[in-house]
Structures are given as structure tokens and as C-alpha cells.
Structure 1
Amino acid sequence: MQGKIALEEHWEAPEFPATGSHDFTAKDYFTDVQRRLREVDQRVEDMDRNGIGISILSLTQPGIEGVTDTKQAIDLARRMNDHAAENLVARHPDRLRAFAAVPLQDPQKAADELERAVRDLGFLGALINGYSNIGDENTAQYLDEPQVEPFWAKVEELGVPVYLHPRIPLPNQQRIYQGYEGLLGSAWGFGFETATHALRLILSGLFDRHPNVNVILGHLGEALPFTLPRVEHRLRHQRRETHGAHEKAPTEYLSNNFYITTSGILRTQALLDSLLEVGSDRILFSVDYPYESMDEISPGSTPPSSARTTA
């Protein structure tokens, strides 16, 4: 298993602590995660030890999407992409690539920044951390909304993928997690939030308007290979106006317009089901570093005892 390409691998710049507050995360664990988010050389050493040839890096969640001021988001996206190109990729150009951060608070500016990052910086696409905050932390813009259309048109023109990455549910939608805040993030809330966002894309008709657009989902598709057949079955009994403008069955889009990665999943049974639902040509390798350990998640690895933690 040498020469693997890992697609969901995160970084953070010291001047922009994108991870924000993680008061539900064990202190020692997150301290080590944040250190690894900001370094480069140890990352490559970990890649060497686990047969990973290339890592595609992306700004960690909530990233630019969590910036409530549009002008600040536009400026930060450009600065963060330049930082990734100059301080990460350029340090190990044969081992590291990058996905762009884009300021979707202004979709046309996001399209422009994606084009700059792809054409000038050599980036491979964009990673978007879920919804974008507009004006305050409880106001969200989702990627299927009409005003985002210029961005999707540019994605299709450039022929690059968009990685839809999780973030925590909106603060005013967190009542169900009260008393169980550990579920808000990667344990549960991330997947629930992102799967619903992906469903919005599927049902909106986005892939009918832009049939060549490809979206990548981590964590074996945020459970959609298991749950989407049920969604499709039940929507047949719902009023048509309640589930968007899609022209095909939802599972067709999952198999034709999505790739899914193995990030954070160490379960053979789940992988087998995903293979049956979407096919081997739609499943890609990822780690979710540094929230996950390369030693633990790479096939054939025997992790040292210090690496046996879960995100």
C-alpha cells in the first residue's frame, strides 16, 4: 500500500486559529492536534512511515466559512491560500498539494479566488467547511442556494472537485445536543450536518444544471451510502414540491457526482457496504490528519501505543 494519496488532511496558520473553541475536546488531545496542524516536516515523516505519497492539504474547519464579515473573509481566503502555497506546499513540493479556501460569503469572489488558486497556485480544487456564516454566527448560506450559482459555474469550467467538509451545527440548532456536547463535533454532529447539506445539493438540481461537477465527502460519505436508499424510497411518497427540483433518483447522483473518502473510518464492514453502493472507482483514501493518526488509519499499520486515540 505504498504511494497512497490522502485527500482530507488539515492545516492551520498561527495568525488565523481557524479551529476556534473546542471546549468539549480533551485538552491534551487538542493541544497535540493544534501543534500538528501548524507544522510540516513531522507530517511528511508520518507520511513516509505509512506509505502515503501525497497529502492534499486544506484549511481546517470552520475556516473561512466561519468568518462573519464578508470583506474579511475575502482577504483571509487569499492570504490563507498564499500561506499554504508558500509555507506548506513549497516546502515539500513533491509530497504536498492543496485545496483552496474560498470566501463564499461573496460567491463571485469565491469563484475568482478558486480560479486564482487553481491557475496561479496550482491548487487541485476547493475544500468548503459546510455552510458559510453571513453577518452573524446563526445566519447560514448553504451551497445549493441560488446566489451560489456563479461559484458552481466556475467549478465546472475549471473541472476541479469540491470537498464538502463538516462543521458544527449552527448554534441556534444545537438544542438536541445539550448535556451531550461531545456529540456536537466529529462524533456525530459533523456527519449529520454534512449529510443533510449534501442532500440539499442532490435534491436542488445542482447536478442537472452542472452534470460535470464532482463533490467529495469524507467519512465514507457521511453515512449516505447507508441512509440515502431509505431517503429515496420515502421521498416517492412525499409531495413533489417538498423535495426540490432534481431530475433523477438521489442514489444516481451519489454514484455519479460524488466521491467518498475513508477519512476517520476504521471499519471494514462499512467500507464493504460503501463499495456495494457507489463502486470502487468512487472511493478514495484519506486519513483526516491530524485529528486522526496516520499510524492508526493506514492499511497494514501497527500503531504505536501513543497513537491509539480516536478523534
Structure 2
Amino acid sequence: MATPIVDVHTHVYPPKYVELLKSRSEVPYIRTFDSDLTARLIILPREDDPSTPSTARGRPIGPEYFDIAKKIAFMDQHGIDISVISQANPWLDFLSASEATDAAVEVNDDINNMCEKYPGRLFAFGTLPVKAGAEACVREIKRLKGLKWMRGVVLGTGGMGQGLDDPKMECVYTTLEEAELPVFLHPHYGLPSEVYGPRAGEYGHVLPLSLGFPIETTIAVTRMIVSGVFDRHLALTLLLAHSGGTLPFLAGRLESCILHDAHLKKLGKLEKRRDIWDILKKNILLDAVVYSGVGVRAAVEASGEDRLLFGTDHPFFPPLEDEDTHQEWLSVATNYAAINKVFEGDKEKGGAVLGGNALRLLKLQAE
């Protein structure tokens, strides 16, 4: 029997979350612009700049974003047996402390119920009430452990507002270790718009998505490494979106810079530290949402072929010819092709990346 194909990077906006976005007038929100009658999802910082053409503001949002039956249809169309769904960015990061706790319970229960409709085909990463503080996050992690289809949590790089190297995150990491739940780390905030230059608005979403997201992830994880998070939390597991950004390629340079930093040496932070290669191979999982054999090989070199997992990033990056609902998604076909190219002639290793690793590492069995 062939190993199931598992998609670990696939998103959903629960219906009640969509209602919340429609009720808002500032980012994040859903609205229809005068020059474009299609409802558009505005979630990225500065994405609604009035100088930006309406067709470059956000993205059209249809039922594939919130109707779980559409997710299953997409899976069937592309030969995917199991998906580990997560609420897409910006999660609950924008809610106040008073709103976040109840919203997390509502959203997570909603997603768990979605999984219940298709037993064994859907699992999920839960969302944390980050603005409500560490204690609220700890309580929700413990509650998620008891939900049948939950297999981890999804976090943005901002953590509770001060980044993932924030000392207030320590008890959250300890609780995740004890619950044996991994973190799916996903970018959202990108880089300051100034870094893209004065003509960036002419290039749609290309610069923030292709460069801003990966570099955001790289910076966030590097801060965790340099601050010693993985030295203190040996069992903490992070699944990094988009193959870890630029981390696999820059890991050697990062290690060298740490070892040659006089400030870190003076503070005693170079003693008894784990090197980045040990962390990559023991604490880090990488998805294969990188769209090239070059990227897949870098991920394998960094963390190992036994820690690389297939993903699609659905419902983002659909075919531009959106009137053809049965068209194969180029973004998905490209990921398949990259994995097949790297593991050509070795079906066992290729099958592990496409599904076997996820089954084992995320414990994707119905309990």
C-alpha cells in the first residue's frame, strides 16, 4: 500500500473569522473596492495603501478560503490524502487581550469540528490567544491537547508582541514540550516597505511574498537561536514555513558570525551552546513549499530528508485563470516536481517527504 500524501501547509479561514474580517475597516479586513466588484482579503501590513491599484490590494476571496468542502475537493484534485489545516495569518494577533481568549476557543473548536466532518483526512494546528498573555496561551495549549484532531499550534513571528525570543514565551515553550505539540511557524509581517524601494508598488505582491516572508522567518528563528531558546528547550519542535526562509542557505554564515562575536563572548553566551546544525537536525522541521529542486536540496542538507514535509500553501497562489475551477494549480505541481526531481529513483525517500515523515512526526492517526 502506497504511503499517503500529506499536506502540512494548508490554510483555512473559519466562517466566523470571515465574518469578523468583514466587520472591520482597518487591516486585516475584507472589502469590495469601487473599481473591482470582487470581495478582497486585505491582510498584509500597508496592503491597502490608496496609491496601490485595487487589483494589487489583497487577493480575491472565494469559498475556497472558508468552505472545508472546497478544501477536500482541492485535495482530491491533486492526489492529497491528508491535510493538516491551520488558520491563515494574521491569526488572532490583531485582537485585544479581552477578545483573544474567547476567540481562540471559538476558532479552534470550529476548526476541530471541520476535521470531524472528514475523519482521518483532516488534522489541525490550533491558534493561540497571543495578546491575552502567556497564561492564556498555556491554558489553550493544554485544552488543544484534548481536542481529537489537533496536532500542534500555529504561531506568527511576533509571538505575544515582542518576538519569539521574548522571555515571556518561556512558559509557553515549556508547555508545548510537555504536551509534545510542535509549532508551525509562519510569517506575516514581512519587512519595512522602504527596503523594496520607491517603485515597489508597481510589482504587486512579488517582493513582500518572495523576499519579505522568508527573511522574516529567518530573522525570527535566528533570534531564538542566539538568545538560547533551543538550549533551554531541548524538546521544542518548530515546523518552519517555506522551507525555513533563507535559514538553510545562511546557517553556516550565521554560525560563523556567532562564533566570532566579541559581545556574545563577553556575555558568556558562547559557552555550552548548541551549534546551529544540531538545532536544525533536532528541533527544526521544514516544509517543502520552496518550488525548486535547489531549495529542496538545501532543506535536506540543513535538517535532513527525514524532517522535510510536503505542503501546498492552499488556498493561496491559485491559477490566475480563476474561471477554470478544475485547472491544476501550478504552485502545487511545481512543489511535486521539485520533490520528485531530488528523490528521482528513490521512491522510499520521496514517499517519506510526500507523506511518511508527516505521519510519523505529527502522529496523524485518529485516536
How would you bin the TM-score normalised by the shorter chain? 0.7 to 0.9
Equivalent residues in 2 for 1:157-306 (5 A)? 157-169=178-190, 173-177=192-196, 179=198, 180-181=200-201, 182=205, 185-241=208-264, 245=269, 247-263=273-289, 265-293=290-318, 295-296=329-330, 297-298=332-333, 299=336
Query: Counterpart of 1:113 in structure 2: which amino acid?
Result: E
Conserved? CA contact 1:125–1:162, under 8 Å? yes
Does residue 61 (structure 1) correspond to residue 80 (structure 2)? The answer is no
Does residue 110 (structure 1) correspond to residue 134 (structure 2)? The answer is no
Query: Counterpart of 2:86 in structure 1: which amino acid?
Result: S
Query: Counterpart of 1:99 in structure 2: which amino acid?
Result: F
Which is higher, the Rg of structure 1 or of structure 2? 2
- Alpha-carbon displacement from aligned partner over 1:196-254 (angstroms, at most 9, x marks no partner): 00111112211121111110101111121101111111222212428994711122211
Conserved? CA contact 1:184–1:190, under 8 Å? no
TM-score by length of 1: 0.84
Conserved? CA contact 1:162–1:216, under 8 Å? yes
Q: Which runs of 5+ in 2 are unaligned?
A: 22-27, 29-40, 319-327, 339-367
Conserved? CA contact 1:183–1:189, under 8 Å? no
Other structure's SS at 1:42 match: helix
Identity of aligned residues (%): 25
1:114 CA drift (Å): 1.4
- Alpha-carbon displacement from aligned partner over 1:236-295 (angstroms, at most 9, x marks no partner): 2212428994711122211211000012x2111221222122210111111111113573
- Alpha-carbon displacement from aligned partner over 1:21-78 (angstroms, at most 9, x marks no partner): 444684698214x5311111121122112221111111111111232x1111222111
Partner of 1:49: 77
Query: Counterpart of 1:15 in structure 2: which amino acid?
Result: E
Conserved? CA contact 1:259–1:283, under 8 Å? yes
Conserved? CA contact 1:220–1:261, under 8 Å? yes
Alpha-carbon distance in 2 for matches of 1:167, 1:208: 26
Conserved? CA contact 1:203–1:250, under 8 Å? no
Other structure's SS at 2:70 match: helix
- Give runs of ≥4 in structure 1 deviating > 6 Å: none
Partner of 2:67: 39
1:121 CA drift (Å): 4.4
Conserved? CA contact 2:156–2:188, under 8 Å? yes
Other structure's SS at 1:276 match: helix
Query: Counterpart of 2:172 in structure 1: which amino acid?
Result: F
Alpha-carbon distance in 1 for matches of 2:196, 2:119: 42
Q: Per the alignment, do residues 187 and 54 of structure 1 end up closer, same or farther by CA in structure 2, a change over 3 Å counting?
A: same
